[in-house]
């Protein structure tokens, strides 16, 4: 065992280590308490963060990356989103050291001091080899110290400027929305009220916009649209008319819940406009844009309250066709409260034909303000049997 005495810059007391060869000495030095303590103030001064919000993504790349993060979160949860962020933007402590620290005078002096001590103990070794070995050891230990002092979390790496478009799908709140296998259908690719098949997702849309059946049909009647009482047109063949009669019977039995305490989000005329222009295979969609980090780190056990953004809008609401790229939506100006949990939400721009690309809109029109609503306390469970009366 060869003893080695190494005096670090600005330190009076040398560090005494020993080893069979300079490699063993450097390994011993790297874990010595005095050496580790000497690195601490240097590391603290650097303030290294693995998850720096000023990441490598610029322009459109930032948006695409943000939508992928959102998709991971909505489909798999916060841990999966953290792993995705860590795997794509985490900075290497070694790379940081190479770029920011190796040229510092203090680092160069420390390498030289270590090599000086080694040279005295191992004079037969080449000086450059000792300098290289000292530099490599210091790089590794400094990287470990940088990582150990880092308190940043993956979500810290998401810049506040990154905004994402979120879709909420009424009628699919119980899980991940299925935009391919379940949609609103109609005859001849039309979902005009007289051609649409009145089923669950249409009920979800009409319930979400909160227009009662009587009010809707009355408003449509004023626009010469009456799906409950079809008229035979001159160009109708028997098949076409029979189908409308069949759907009229379905409409007669069709209904949906509404809430008089909530505002109407659309008028009967607006609903008709959406249905006339959306086409089959569409799904009810509320599309809005939010800052990604704030959205992911909100309280997901609380309802989500959306309020007008900078342009006075609360997203776009209507029917969107993710499969073929189409649909029709209108600007919504009323505040909306969405249920707690991730169910019903999707990342629109990573789902087939996304929202923004189809309509070529200015994305800032979709910006909303949002807050967490009050959590709904679970009702206490009733005992299986009433307690016996006291005797």
Q: What is the pLDDT along the chain (391 residues), one digit of tens a residue?
A: 899 999 999 999 999 999 999 999 999 999 999 999 999 999 999 999 999 765 555 555 888 999 999 999 999 999 999 999 999 999 999 999 999 999 999 999 999 999 999 999 999 999 999 999 999 999 999 999 999 999 999 999 898 899 999 999 999 999 999 998 889 999 878 899 999 999 999 999 999 999 999 999 999 999 999 999 988 877 778 888 888 889 999 999 999 999 999 999 999 999 999 999 998 899 999 999 999 999 999 999 999 999 999 999 999 999 999 999 899 999 999 999 999 999 999 999 999 899 988 888 889 999 999 999 988 765 555 544 434 434 3
Closest among 310, 364, 311, 307 to 334, alpha carbons compared: 307
CA 334 vs. chain centroid, Å, equals 24
Task: Give backbone dihedrals phi and psi of 137, rounded to 5 degrees, phi first.
Answer: -65, -45
Q: Hey, how many other C-beta atoms are within 10 angstroms of the C-beta on 282?
A: 30
Dihedral in degrees, nearest 10, Cα atoms 345, 350, 351, 357: 110
Measure the CA–CA gap between 69 and 83, rounded to whole angstroms.
10
Pinpoint the alpha helices (H) of the chain.
Answer: 22-30, 33-46, 60-76, 78-89, 93-100, 105-121, 127-149, 200-209, 213-221, 238-253, 268-278, 292-296, 355-359
Distances (CA, A) of 375 to 302, 314, 340, 372: 5, 22, 8, 8
Dihedral in degrees, nearest 10, Cα atoms 320, 243, 209, 317: 10
Query: What are the counts of helices (DSSP H) followed by strands (DSSP E) for the chain?
Result: 13, 10
Closest among 28, 29, 1 to 114, alpha carbons compared: 29
β-strands 304-308, 368-372 pairing: antiparallel
State the residue for tokens 């810290």: 156
Q: Hey, how many other C-beta atoms are within 10 angstroms of the C-beta on 103?
A: 9
Its pTM stands at 0.84
- DSSP structure class, residue 104: S
């Amino acid at each position: 065992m060869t003893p080695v005495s190494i005096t670090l810059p600005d330190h009076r007391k040398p560090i005494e280590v020993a080893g069979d060869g300079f490699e063993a000495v450097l390994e011993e030095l790297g874990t010595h308490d005095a050496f580790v303590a000497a690195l601490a103030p240097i590391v603290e001064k650097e303030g290294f963060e693995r998850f720096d919000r000023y990441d490598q993504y610029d322009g459109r790349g930032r948006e695409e990356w943000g939508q992928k993060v959102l998709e991971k979160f909505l489909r798999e949860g916060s841990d999966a989103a953290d792993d995705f962020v860590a795997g794509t933007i985490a900075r290497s402590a070694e790379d940081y050291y190479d770029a920011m620290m190796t040229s510092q005078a203090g680092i160069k002096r420390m390498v030289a001091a270590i090599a000086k001590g080694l040279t005295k103990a191992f004079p037969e070794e080449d000086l450059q080899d000792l300098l290289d070995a000292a530099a490599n050891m210091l790089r590794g230990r400094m990287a470990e110290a940088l990582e150990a002092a880092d308190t940043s979390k993956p979500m810290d790496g998401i810049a506040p400027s990154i905004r994402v478009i979120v879709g909420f799908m009424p009628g699919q709140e119980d899980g991940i929305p299925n935009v391919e296998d379940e949609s609103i259908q109609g005859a001849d690719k039309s979902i005009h009220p007289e051609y649409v098949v009145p089923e669950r997702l249409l009920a979800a849309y009409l319930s979400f916009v909160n227009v009662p059946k009587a009010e809707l049909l009355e408003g449509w009647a004023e626009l010469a649209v009456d799906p409950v009482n079809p008229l035979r047109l001159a160009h109708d063949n028997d098949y076409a008319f029979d189908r409308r009669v069949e759907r009229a019977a379905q409409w007669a039995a069709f209904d949906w819940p509404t809430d008089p305490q909530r505002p109407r989000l659309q008028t009967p005329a607006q609903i008709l406009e959406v249905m006339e222009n959306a086409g089959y295979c569409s799904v009810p969609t509320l599309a809005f844009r939010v800052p990604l980090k704030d959205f992911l780190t909100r309280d997901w056990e609380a309802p989500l309250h959306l309020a007008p953004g900078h342009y006075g809008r609360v997203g776009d609401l209507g029917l969107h066709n993710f499969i073929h790229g189409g649909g029709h939506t209108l600007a919504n100006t009323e505040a909306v409260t969405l249920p707690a949990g991730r169910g019903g939400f999707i990342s629109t721009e990573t789902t087939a034909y996304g929202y923004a690309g189809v309509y070529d809109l200015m994305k800032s029109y979709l910006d909303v303000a949002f807050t967490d609503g009050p959590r709904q306390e679970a009702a206490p469970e009733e005992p299986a049997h009433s307690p016996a009366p006291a005797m």
